[in-house]
Amino acid sequence: MPRRTSPAVTLARCRVPPNRLLPSEDVAGWEDLVGVLADQKGCESVACSRVKGDPERVLFAIVWHDQNALDEFKTSPAYPEFINALPPGVSTETIKFEKCGTKMDFLHGWLSLVTIGFTHPVADVERVLFGHLGGPMRFQTRGQKPKRGWVQELRTLGSQTVQDAVLLRNWRYIVPVLDMQTEVAINPLTEEVFEKRLEEIGAVQWKEEHVNLARVDGIPM
């Protein structure tokens, strides 16, 4: 039996008014979006969440059977329908997580997502150093290593072309997320140490997001 390749993940970010329910809460209110994704054979799951600290900002995480399934979707007539079913100004990116097997069970519940930008083309030594990066100090005190991956699409930062890398930490409860914010407030050195480490490995920018991903019913059909 041929070995299955790793899934691909689409992250979509957009702004949704706080008074509008998300697809995980109201499938009927997002009928066009849910319908177009439910019709895709390679779409394995969809989850979404508002970003902690910015309730209008929403993150969608869409898991595809493999890269081929995602590529077929992006070149199909359904892809513009998908974009049009999301609020205006949506941005999307594709992530290939490393050493994650064939399941994406970690893409649910409370997550911390650290996005780190490197100047393109990323040097081999920078990729190796990122592979040893454990994340902010708070990531390393809970006994579980973060997932890591690279965003396939490039972006522009000023005059530079940047490729983003991602560290993702799954939490079982909200308490660690609250603890992280308290830790930063009490001891800002934890941020400074991490930023210094990023400079040492050649990173040019980073950001951190906290979400509580909930699955959308009806996908797959």
Stretches in the chain below the pLDDT threshold 50: 1
- Residue 1 counted as domain residue: no
Q: Do residues 177 and 125 share a domain? A: yes
Q: Identify whether residues 100 and 146 lie together within a single domain.
A: no
Tokens of 158: 């000023």
pTM reported for the whole predicted model: 0.90
Distances (CA, A) of 189 to 138, 179, 196: 12, 15, 10
> Is 188 in the same domain as 203?
yes
Are 37 and 59 members of one domain? yes
Asked if residue 2 belongs to a domain, the reply is no
User: If we measure between CA atoms, which residue out of 3, 58, 68 comes closest to residue 214?
Assistant: 58
Report the CATH number at residue 95.
3.30.70.100
Residue 181: per-residue pLDDT: 64
- The reported pLDDT for the residue numbered 169 is 87
Residue whose entry in the numeric block shows the structure tokens 């909200």: 174
Which structural domain range is residue 140 located in?
Answer: 112-209
Same domain (yes/no): 104, 116: no
* 36 backbone dihedrals φ, ψ, rounded to 5°: -70, -35
The whole-angstrom separation of Cα 141 and Cα 56 is 30
Do 62 and 146 belong to one domain? Answer: no
